[in-house]
Amino acid sequence: MKKLTWILLLVLLMAACGGGPGGGPSSDSEASSDAGAESSGEVQLADELSVYNWSEYIDEEKLAEYEETYGVDIIYDTFASNEDLLAKLQAGAEGYDVIFPSDYMVANMIDLGLLAEIDTADIPNFANIDPQFANAPFDPGNAHCVPYQWGTTGIGYQASNEFFQENPPDSWAYLFDPALLEKYADDGVNVLNDPRELPGAALIYLGYDPNTTNPDELNEARDLILTAKPYWKTFNSEDYDDSLLIPGEVTLTQGWSGDVANAYWSTYDDETEDGDWYYSIPQEGAVKWLDNICITASSERYDTALHFMNYLLDAEVGAAITNFTYYASPNLAAQEFILDEILQDESIFPPDEVQDKLVWLTQVGEDSFLYDELWTAVKSSQ
């Protein structure tokens, strides 16, 4: 297949564009739920494992492979945002063993005592991880989590839209400027239903740190969002690629790199050698993120969770996940097995000059109420 042509990174280039206290929970051999468990080496595996992940964020064939190989039934459930995940755990939901929070949420969960501690020495496949993704500031020493997938948050847009053919989106203005929005809003605009991602994009557009706790800057971002909101059709971060992008229900979206890539390949035409969704990292910069595999502090199947974590870091398993999700893998050993059109796609694996314009979302601690207030104002306005 033709190498992706939907990347707008040239615009950038030309424009000089976790932790429970103490050790882990009791071993599986001590948990009553593990009676009659299958054995894997010296690890006594549980009969089942509860996994809570983002929607459409794993190759389910690999889940089936794990079940068949190790005799562990995977109880699989999904969430739509980091905040939904946190709210579920804080509400007292028990039974989840393995979860997949993003970077800043890992820090929050460590502070709240929601994550079990791990020792990467017990995870042989941790050696596959690219050093740039190990020992991240939100989880020093990978004491609670290991890297899963990473990507960026940018703009997806329909290549068939006549306005975009002459004016390919290269700025967050295409999401926030009414003068631009009125030219294509009738065809539908989607934004991520995420209380950090949407304000983060607004803050970057305004020239501010997307992790700011300055009330004046946050109020300015709120007002920018409220001005643009009447032009937006949907707030969707769960299934927007399948429900909105691929069927053409919208023409522009704030989106995660892999979801827009999925829309590209799902609309790919062999005759034209092109898909209908392109991706842009705006010239002002954008958020990069790292999702992680963690074990809940309440898990009674700690050993099995650790075993599953190691399985996901296997080179071929990691590659299969990326080949399914279109998100970049932090697993260096997996690159040998990742499809060339994904590995060579600079919107998925951005070059250094683009990465220089990317920023992490970080924990805002006791000031998180400022983002809660901003989000409430945005979602409650008519």
C-alpha 276/C-alpha 281 separation (Å) is 17
- My answer on whether 135 and 161 are in the same domain is no
- My answer on whether 266 and 373 are in the same domain is yes
Comparing CA positions, the residue from 353, 358, 194, 222 lying closest to residue 287 is 358
- My answer on whether 273 and 302 are in the same domain is no
pLDDT in tens, 165-181: 999 999 999 999 999 99
Please determine, for residue 14, whether its predicted confidence score (pLDDT) is greater than 60: no
Per the structure, the complete domain to which residue 326 belongs is given by 43-150+290-348
Please determine, for residue 37, whether its predicted confidence score (pLDDT) is greater than 90: no
- My answer on whether 158 and 140 are in the same domain is no
In a domain, 258, yes or no: yes
Torsion angle, alpha carbons of 49, 53, 55, 61, to 10: -50
In CATH, what number is assigned to the domain containing residue 373?
3.40.190.10
Tokens of 277: 């969704």
In a domain, 111, yes or no: yes
Give the count of domains, the chain. Answer: 2
In a domain, 104, yes or no: yes
Comparing CA positions, the residue from 281, 251, 245 lying closest to residue 265 is 245
C-alpha 345/C-alpha 268 separation (Å) is 15
Judged by DSSP in three states, 187 sits in helix
Burial class of residue 154, CB neighbours in 10 A (0-12, 13-18, 19+): buried
- My answer on whether 198 and 158 are in the same domain is yes
| pLDDT, position 43 | 77
- My answer on whether 118 and 187 are in the same domain is no
State the CB neighbour count (10 A cutoff) for residue 357: 19
Please determine, for residue 15, whether its predicted confidence score (pLDDT) is greater than 70: no
- My answer on whether 179 and 275 are in the same domain is yes
State the CB neighbour count (10 A cutoff) for residue 324: 17
- My answer on whether 220 and 126 are in the same domain is no
pLDDT in tens, 343-363: 999 889 999 899 899 999 988
In a domain, 344, yes or no: yes
C-alpha 220/C-alpha 206 separation (Å) is 8
- My answer on whether 197 and 303 are in the same domain is no
- My answer on whether 98 and 234 are in the same domain is no
- My answer on whether 224 and 263 are in the same domain is yes
In a domain, 16, yes or no: no
- 84-99 average pLDDT score: 92
- My answer on whether 130 and 157 are in the same domain is no
pLDDT in tens, 297-335: 999 999 999 999 999 999 999 999 999 999 999 999 999
Comparing CA positions, the residue from 190, 173, 169 lying closest to residue 251 is 190
| pLDDT, position 42 | 67
pLDDT in tens, 148-160: 999 999 999 999 9
Burial class of residue 141, CB neighbours in 10 A (0-12, 13-18, 19+): exposed
- Non-local (6+) Cβ contacts of 24 within 8 A are 116, 117, 118, 295, 302, 306
C-alpha 307/C-alpha 280 separation (Å) is 38
In a domain, 9, yes or no: no
Cβ–Cβ < 8 Å for 257, 152: yes
| pLDDT, position 229 | 98
C-alpha 293/C-alpha 146 separation (Å) is 5
In a domain, 72, yes or no: yes
Q: Is the pTM of this model over 0.75?
A: yes
In a domain, 102, yes or no: yes
